Amino acid sequence: MLGVLWACSATAAIKLPERYKEFLAGPTSYLITKTEHAAFLALKSDEDRDRFIDHFWAIRNPAPESGSNEFRDEFYRRVAWANAHFGNDVGGDGWRSDRGRTYILFGKPQGTTSYVFDQQLYPIELWFYANPGLTELPAFFYVLFFDRDGIGGYHFYHPYVDGPDKLVRSGYTKADAYQYLRNVSPELARASLSLIPGEPVDTDTFSGSMDSMSILNAIQGYNEMRSYISLVQNRALRLERVTSKIHYDLARTNLLTFLAREKGQPWLHYQVEVSDPSQPKAEAGRVCYEIAARVFSNEQLVFERTDAPTFAVDPATADDLKPRPFVFEDRLPVTEGKYRLTVSVRNQAAKKTYEVSRVFSVGPPPSGPELSEILIVADHQPDGRVRPFQFGGFKFLPSPGAQATAARGLSICYEVSLPGQHADEIPVEYVIGNVGTKFRKTFEEKLPLGRTDSYGALFNAKTLQIEDLTAGSYQLVVRLKDPASGKITAQSVSFVVVASGEERRPLVISQGRTPTPEWEAANDYERALCWLAQGREREALEALESSWNLSKKAALEPLLRHLYERTGRGSGRPILN
């Protein structure tokens, strides 16, 4: 209950009438953002506080012209239902429980299964949801609850932290527990390792999915999810009669990643955005940042890259830069496996450091048609340089917060891998929907395959017309049909339609790289470190040999000799002589 505890501690020093304390620390604490919380505490009169609360619900009302507020009514209906059904979990108000919080935020699940009659299992509930509109969540996901000791009530199950052995009563290993769960329900067994349908699960060590943490983080930190904050901000801007003025100028750091294969090799493109309008960006006529990108696997550092972008500015206009977000982009060589990318950004003028992380996975080379993630873009332009988010001779600018406007359309980019394909074209279907309103819109096209590279890959950019969409959250599903087998491959992404308006133009530094032998050698070395982190020594040796052939750096020799011995390929190979 971190959100509730935070709200309580923040209001302890301020004397407020009970109804306002309840607004800040009660069920609405799941919805109120930190910016709104601070703004409410700054109000001096009950009259202003009442106006603020009216405005709070008004900007969340999807149909303000209706004369009623369906969102507020549904919210309190869910609170009442949670109190009536989940109070035993916390010995009191059901809205405070994990099940209550999930039900209040996401509503009734699309599917619910209870496992309460098996003597070997602790009481378990498995809920299945379609994405309610958060870009941070997959299209579909599970939430699993279990009663840890059989008497303490249901709590969140964390696949990465808990593991399948925590769901059974007596000393099972993870492997035995997983098999027991499979005998009860294959769906339950799979959810014990991953809350994301379709995500590959580890049935060697039975370690849980780190990616599943995004689902639990979205529930426990719903009011600070970027897509939720963007929706609140844009509805506030569209509200015709604003009676409480709120400034959304708190610091914000976001990290976007996109995995693409180039010449058959996986690359992670990333963009980090820092928005802190209260801090200066220039000092003595120069903007100077320090960037450190660290790649981890199994919580061990794999490699680190540092950069120090700097440029001169006119001191007379330095203050004009303060409200503009700072954006840095780069691309990193990676291999198959699970990783965590952590990027820290230090603003030298403000003497302030920002840090943000994101977990990602890289699968094996595709054996059949495969779609990459869907990248929502704000703009693109011709560019032949080797740069982040540069595909097919075009440089793409990712859209902040996965936002689009009805007037400009929804612009996307994605990669299609088609190994061994000989067809001239492949059918692609685009489906835009809104789960809450049952809205659905479909586009179809035939994607010509004449542009595929020698590895069977091509990038496709598309702008979908969405002039008939009102502001709000939507889901895009892209479906690819294999002409040979008829098999459907699909990816989905959430996006937010916002009202057109003036945006703060970011300062973008997109790190270009000259493809010299030295730089290619550095890439091969980092890829070798990735293979080593996954325990793939033969693949690591191949990458390290490639790095050696390009650079002849003596520093590589000890690791090369070690890998020759480890892989049985001998030591003292002529390559080192």
- Split at pLDDT 50, 70, 90, the class of 430 is very high
Kindly tell me if the per-residue pLDDT of 572 is higher than 50. no
Query: Which tens digits make up the pLDDT trace of 401-415?
Result: 788 888 889 999 999
Specify if 155 maps to a domain.
no
Closest by Cα among 285, 221, 277 to 34:
221
- Answer yes or no: are the C-beta atoms of 216 and 161 closer than 8 Å: no
Q: Is the pLDDT reported for residue 341 higher than 90?
A: yes
pLDDT digits (tens, 9 = 90+) for 32-65: 998 899 899 989 888 899 999 989 998 988 777 6
Query: Which pLDDT belongs to residue 151?
Result: 67
Q: What is the mean pLDDT of the chain?
A: 85
Same domain, residue pair 400 and 439: yes
Residue 279 lies inside a defined structural domain of this protein: yes
Which of 321, 336, 361 lies at the terminal end of a domain, its last residue?
Answer: 361
Domain with 307 in it: what CATH number?
A: 2.60.40
Which of 346, 361, 376 is the C-terminal boundary of a domain?
361
Same domain, 370 and 474: yes
pLDDT at 249 over 70: no
Asked whether residue 390 falls in the same domain as residue 406, the answer is yes
**pLDDT of amino acid 437:** 61
Structure tokens at 150: 């059989």
Closest by CA to 283, choosing from 311, 307, 323, is 311
Is the domain of 446 the same as that of 418? yes
Distance CA(465)–CA(439), nearest Å, equals 15
Which of 321, 345, 361 is where one domain is finished? 361
**Is residue 379 domain-shared with residue 446, that is, in the same domain?**
yes
Are residue 373 and residue 330 in the same domain, yes or no? no
Please check whether residues 271 and 392 belong to one and the same domain: no
**Do 355 and 426 fall into the same domain?**
no
482 within some domain: yes
Residue 207 lies in a domain: no
Any domain includes 338: yes
Residue 20: count other Cβ atoms within 10 Å of its Cβ. Answer: 20
pLDDT digits (tens, 9 = 90+) for 479-499: 888 877 778 888 888 888 887
How many structural domains does the chain have?
A: 3
> Which pLDDT belongs to residue 9?
41
As a residue count, the chain comes to 577
Domain range for residue 340? 262-361
Res. 246: pLDDT tops 70: no
What is the model's pLDDT at position 422? 67
Residue 378 lies in a domain: yes
Query: Which CATH number does the domain housing residue 420 bear?
Result: 2.60.40.2550
The answer on 371 and 322 residing in a single domain is no
E strand or H helix at 418, and its extent?
Answer: none
Q: Which of 158, 149, 139, 140 is nearest to 98 (CA)?
A: 158
Q: Across residues 500-515, what is the average pLDDT?
A: 77
Q: Give 260's strand partners.
A: 267
Does 513 reside within a domain?
no
Tell which residue, 401, 449, 403, 456, has the closest CA to residue 426.
Answer: 449
How many Cα neighbours within 13 Å face the side chain of 357? Answer: 14
> Does 470 fall in a domain?
yes
Verify that 394 and 485 share a domain, yes or no.
Answer: yes
Distance CA 325, CA 319 (A): 13
Q: Is the pLDDT of residue 331 over 90?
A: yes
Residue 570 confidence (pLDDT)? 54
CATH of the domain at 558: 1.25.40
Measured distance between the N- and C-terminal CA atoms of the chain, rounded to whole angstroms: 62
Look at 424 and 271; give whichever has higher pLDDT.
Answer: 271
Question: What are the pLDDT digits (tens) for 360-418?
Answer: 899 898 887 888 999 999 888 898 888 999 998 899 999 877 888 888 899 999 999 88
**Quick one: average pLDDT of 289-295?**
94
Q: Determine the pLDDT at residue 436.
A: 54
Identify the CA nearest to 432 among candidates 487, 372, 374, 369: 374
Confidence of residue 251 (pLDDT cuts 50, 70, 90): confident
- pLDDT at position 374 is 93
Q: What is the distance between the alpha carbons of residues 121 and 86, in angstroms, rounded to a whole number?
A: 20
> Does residue 93 carry a pLDDT above 90?
no
Q: Tell me, what's the pLDDT at 322?
A: 85
Does residue 496 share a domain with residue 430? yes
Whether the Cβ atoms of residue 283 and residue 257 lie closer than 8 Å to each other:
no
Same domain, yes or no, for 558 and 443?
Answer: no
Q: Which of 39-43, 162-166, 437-441 is least confident?
A: 437-441
275 C-beta neighbours (distance < 10 Å), count: 21
Is residue 389 within 8 Å of 328, Cβ to Cβ? no
- Reference 211, options 137, 120, 296; nearest CA is 137
